[in-house]
Structure 1
Amino acid sequence: MITSKIVEIGPNAIVENDPLVILFGPEATSNLKDVAVIQKFDEPHPEFKLKRGSQIKIREHSYTVSFCGKLVNANLQGVGHATLCFEPIPDTPLESAVYLSPEKFPGFAVGDKLTYIF
């Protein structure tokens, strides 16, 4: 289990009717911070092992990973990056994305806790 806390939300990170959010760590560039939700892990560079069936909790909302792209674990471990998608898996899913079920966008706020359960 790995936990992080949202420390910043870019002004263009949450777009109405767009069921995804881009996560990055605090070392993201200012351009990325503009469109990203910034998470800070409790431990530096934790080892990620997300896969189909893993869980991600956002505050009190619990989601099941329905697809985990092959770049996700390395990106999360290196720079805290993943795209969380709250929509059905498309024919060609993003390799840097995690598709979650239920497909309901939870909303995000500074101070929210994210928990990754493998």
Structure 2
Amino acid sequence: MMITSEVTEIGPNAIVESDPIAILFGPEATNNLKDVAVIQKFDVRHPEFNLRRGSQISIRNHTYTVTFCGKLVNANLQGVGHVTLCFSAIPETPLESAIYLSPEKFPGFTVGDKIIYTFK
């Protein structure tokens, strides 16, 4: 199954060059969250996610493989469009609201980018 979202806003403090993560939220995010987040809007209302290790996410002509998917990820994406994308190795104690991706290369984000979540 594939679910697509589009980047509609990028907060002024959302991208930090030295920190290879992106915090994503849906359009209902508060203004405080929008300041530090990449806002995504899904192509379907209330999509049902089943992301897990081995799923793929494509951003800006880069395809990433999920190496870790936290327990909270699918429910958070379905509810408020939230996930933290980590383009780094899995730490000893990974975030349960995060997806860790390989390769560990930050793609950058621009308004209008498509994010494609692919899973079984």
TM-score band by shorter chain is over 0.9
Name the structure 1 match of 2:4. Answer: 3
Q: What TM-score does the superposition give when structure 1 sets the normalisation length?
A: 0.99
Q: Structure 2 matches for 1:9-24, cutoff 5 A?
A: 9-24=10-25
Say whether 1:77 aligns with 2:73. Answer: no
Name the structure 2 match of 1:117. Answer: 118
Aligned-residue Cα RMSD (Å) equals: 0.3
Question: Could you tell me how far apart the structure 1 residues matched to 2:49 and 2:80 are?
Answer: 12
Question: Could you tell me how far apart the structure 2 residues matched to 1:3 and 1:91 are?
Answer: 31
Q: CA deviation at 1:2?
A: 0.2
Q: What TM-score does the superposition give when structure 2 sets the normalisation length?
A: 0.98
Q: CA deviation at 1:16?
A: 1.2
Question: Could you tell me how far apart the structure 2 residues matched to 1:54 and 1:106 are?
Answer: 17
Name the structure 2 match of 1:106. Answer: 107
Q: CA deviation at 1:23?
A: 0.1
Unaligned 5+ segments in structure 2 are none
Say whether 1:68 aligns with 2:74. Answer: no
Unaligned 5+ segments in structure 1 are none
Q: Cα deviation per residue 1:69-118 (whole Å; 9 max; x = unaligned)?
A: 00000000000000000000000000000000000000000000000000
Name the structure 2 match of 1:31. Answer: 32
Deviating above 4 A after TM superposition, structure 1's stretches of 4 or more consecutive aligned residues are none
Q: CA deviation at 1:66?
A: 0.1
